[in-house]
Amino acid sequence: MPIEDIKKTIAESRGTLRELRFGASGAKSNNVKHARTLRREIARMMTELRARTQK
């Protein structure tokens, strides 16, 4: 996966996480595990991005 695609995926995942977080602020969230999974996926992508840019 090219670096540009990783950056795009990170941005989309952050947007999804933001919507999930603020949408659930007034009500109980049905899927709390989804937010945790998204955060972990973002961290994995950022780690891979950093590893590729340091080479």
Q: What is the pLDDT of residues 2-50, one digit of tens each?
A: 999 999 999 999 999 998 888 766 666 667 788 899 999 999 999 999 9
Does position 55 have pLDDT exceeding 90, yes or no? no
Q: What pLDDT is attached to residue 37?
A: 94
Residue 21 near residue 35 (C-beta atoms within 8 A): yes
Q: Measure the CA–CA gap between 8 and 42, rounded to whole angstroms.
A: 11
Q: What pLDDT is attached to residue 25?
A: 63
Residue 21 near residue 34 (C-beta atoms within 8 A): no
- Cite the DSSP H helix spans in 1-55: 3-23, 32-54
Q: What pLDDT is attached to residue 22?
A: 83
Residue 10 near residue 45 (C-beta atoms within 8 A): yes
